[in-house]
Amino acid sequence: MVFSAGCLALYVRQEKFHSDSTKTLEFAEKKAESRVENFRDLWNYLEASKHVGVGWTFLPPNMKMEMNKVEKKVDHLANSLQQKTDKNSDDIREALDSVRVILIVIATVAVFIAILGSVFSIWGNKGLVHTMVITGWILVTLTFVLSGIFLALHNISADTCVAMDEWVETYTKAHTAFDHILPCVYKSTAQKTLNKTKDLTILLVTLMDRMVIGVSNLNVTPIAGILYYNQSGPLVPALCNPFHYNRTHRNCADDEVDFIHAAMEWRNYVCEVSETGRCTTVGRLRPNMYEELVGTLNVSYALYHYGPFLVDVEECLSVRDAVREIGEDHCPSLRRHTICIAMLLAMVSASLMVSVIFWLLHSRHNQKCSYRITASTGFPDSNVPYHTHNIHGKTFETGTRLYNIPEEFFSIATAISQNLSQSSSNYFLKPRKRYGLLRLKVASLQINLEEIEIVYGKEKIKFCIVIGRLRGAKRRTSQSKVSGIYLASKFKLN
């Protein structure tokens, strides 16, 4: 029962360990996928920024060339991060699946071996018992080794969780094992990308403000040419530039509008236009100008929005947050599962070892107890008819126990032994006298007979040897004293 309960508990515990380990891995994978997705979105906005323009103003060629370099770096970061995460996640998942299969196979095989070993031991098939014993010892060794491995894994996981907490508190740029799942990005690469996004944001906001201030808010006459399209009404608020030209943070002025409210605010200044493109109602923004401004606004806001992400990448903040969450939410359960699996493996191994020893003892006991009397061996309550046997001038009835064996019976035992040894060395029986009784004890363990017949002339003698108590006999009864030699018409080898 203990062995079966241990195997069942081992199966349940390994399922929990596999489930929690998979959840931890999936958590890290989601964090990595989020970073990859952000990099790819950033690349898309960088690519879109090269094609935006307000009116007749676009990005200068040198800025586009610099943006191409930044795009290549961002694309390389996204691809390398994706490949590295996928590869290491697959390796870890494969290792977890292998551990799961090994534990399930060991639990199943252990139960199977225990059942077969017990059945063969009771059955008395010596060859199969020896096979089960050898297999059992191999399995005992494997389970003990696995128990030690999981105990070491428990200690390693505990040390790793402590080291993870210390790494979060005292962050350094040193390479860690966690980089195999959720790697950080080099600070120089992230800093360059962050600077370029700030420069591009400043440039795009400047282009939009030039259009708003230098064109839409002008009060000009038709002689101004393309600058005149009959704009009128309140002045359009300029877009707030979040950075100074040295890339430092800048606060918005009172008459400026921020990224979030700019599109909604500018919509109030759109006029209706004629076929010639001039405003026919009050307003300072033509519909096409508004669309260009909003398109450029979206790109610039996206670049500005990814600034904190790049700062996060530079300082490895998301990785540190992920490590902190794993240490707080996932480490305790993993440590608990590993120590439980180690203890269960040790229990299964010890139980199987006890079972193997029991098989050996039971098999040896059956071999030492050479022949046991069955119901048909001639007891008074049996159905076997009584016969008389004349042996060297003395008459014995079937089923009679030979008490106070006379000295001349030793010659009978000797004759039996000689007769058996002549037929086969495996049937050699050695006569011994102990406590006033003569016992014929098996000297060879190879005897495998259903009955023994000894022929003296025309007389056929059937006999059995009993050593120990009858199976099921109680102490302090007449049945408990059954050791000795019995004559029988037939008997079985148990």
How far apart CA 252 and CA 479 sit, in angstroms, is 109
Strands ordered across the beta sheet of 484-487: 453-456, 459-466, 484-487
Residue spans of the chain under pLDDT 50: 368-411, 413-414, 417-418, 420-494
How far apart CA 322 and CA 319 sit, in angstroms, is 5
CB 490 within 8 A of CB 382: no
Same domain, 58 and 169: yes
Does the residue 433 lie in any domain? yes
Q: 279, 299, 314 — which closes off a domain?
A: 314
Q: Where are the alpha helices (DSSP H) in 212-316?
A: 259-267, 287-315
Same domain, 259 and 192: yes
CB 168 within 8 A of CB 182: no
Same domain, 303 and 206: yes
Please give the backbone phi and psi of residue 432, each rounded to the nearest 5 degrees, phi first. -140, 150
The DSSP 8-state label assigned to residue 476 in this structure reads T
Same domain, 289 and 211: yes
Does the residue 383 lie in any domain? no
Same domain, 36 and 106: yes
Same domain, 17 and 152: yes
Same domain, 8 and 144: yes
Does the residue 8 lie in any domain? yes
Same domain, 293 and 220: yes
Same domain, 102 and 52: yes
Same domain, 164 and 298: no
Please tell me the total count of domains within the chain: 3
Domain enclosing residue 12, as ranges: 2-180+317-367
Same domain, 197 and 169: no
Does the residue 276 lie in any domain? yes
Same domain, 306 and 334: no
Alpha-carbon distance values, 188 to 192, 214, 227, 272, 313 (Å):
6, 38, 44, 49, 11
Q: What is residue 272's predicted lDDT score, i.e. its pLDDT?
A: 92
Q: What is residue 239's predicted lDDT score, i.e. its pLDDT?
A: 93
Would residue 483 be called left, alpha or beta, if left means φ above 0 and alpha means ψ between -120 and 50 degrees? beta
